[in-house]
Structure 1
Amino acid sequence: MRRIDTLDDIEEGVRALVAADARLAPIHAMVTAVPLRRSMPGFESLASIIVAQQVSTASAAAIWARLKTHVDPLTPENYLGRGEEAWRLAGLSRPKQSTLAHVSKAVLSGELDLLDLCALPAEEAIATMTAIKGIGPWTAEVYLLFAAGHPDVFPAGDVALQSAVGHAFGHESRPGAADLRAFAEAWSPWRGVAARLFWAYYATIRGREAAPML
């Protein structure tokens, strides 16, 4: 599988996208840069994505910093070992505490191999991850984008991507996940670069970062 590992890969993807869909050229022209945003695959990377769900970038960063302080190093063993008091002090919500506990147990039991699944086709990797209680499609897709470097994943459930695409193409309201997923099929096999492009576009038009914290 081709991976998005470098800024050269991003540039290649953007060129291919603009050539295939001329509507993306003015969108690309508006953004300063389309960032790579890669992280090392593993528990810590997935944990950072879970922490970032449904909170602002500033809140996610604060919670993440506290979690890394109270669970150091941040490993499945240490997360479970520190227990609910440390999780509460970090500011994790009950659902996120539970999700990280389920992920920790799955990693330790061998049910979830966060390195091996990076080599799987996207559909198979997403199915493996979403079998763990608390992990939904958005979490799995973002992990594959930024930890695995998957080139053709588009997290259509992401509200910022929905807003960015709706704004870019003059929709009166932002498209829902199903509509956006169908819309993004035209950008295959570079949907992972298209997602980065629209997160960068969102940051430009809204003046704030919206891509998931890593």
Structure 2
Amino acid sequence: MQTNINLQGLRVAVTGGTSGLGLALVRQLAAMGARVAFVARTAENVERIADETGAHGIVGDVGKKEDIYAIALQVTASLGEIDVLINNASSLGPVPLALLADTDCEELEAALAVNLVGAFRLTKALFGALAASARAGRGALVINISSDTAVNAYPGWGAYGASKAALTHLAAIWDEEAKADGIRLLALDPGDMDTPLHALALPDADPSTLKSPELAAAEIIEKMLDALPARDTLTTGAVA
């Protein structure tokens, strides 16, 4: 793991940035000197995390079509341009988890609206800004936070797993299509984490058996740096 990482000047947007993995990413990226904009639905939480980290908070719901344009405008206005977009916001669908035969169509739609369509819309809205960053030689990267439910068939996780499987494949296709624009797209599975979302899905799970969001965030940042062509100019320090 890198130590003494300096991300001064790197411009990163994170969705779902006030809890769990998203919050850990915002905290670590800001502490490393990156310019960070984050999105979440609850104004009080957005204000609190913005005050704590110095990152730019944006109140919005990526699952709502009408919010996407305003979110994208605020991201570019606050950062100037954007080098990295992390599509982290997620919805479980039915709570408590339900078998597919017991899942309402609206619950499936809710998971798809946030986990797949919302990530697609925001990436599309910021695509021009990402391409501009790539043309400037800074690199451009979109990270879609996926899950092992995208590849493993767990009963009760149908809505979430199907949406994450689609998100993962979306990233693979778009990564091929965006090569000419210099934009990379990755889908990363952070593993089972001790987060509010996981507790909502499996309230009886033992937190000691789960990865901390802080460790998962550090691993994602390392993979982010590996994917950026300007890594050597962004990092200093030894490798532990």
Q: TM-score, structure 1 length as denominator?
A: 0.31
Give the strand-richer structure, 1 or 2: 2
Give the helix-richer structure, 1 or 2: 1
Q: TM-score, structure 2 length as denominator?
A: 0.28
Q: Which structure exhibits the higher relative contact order, with contacts defined as CA atoms closer than 8 Å and separated by 6 or more residues?
A: 1
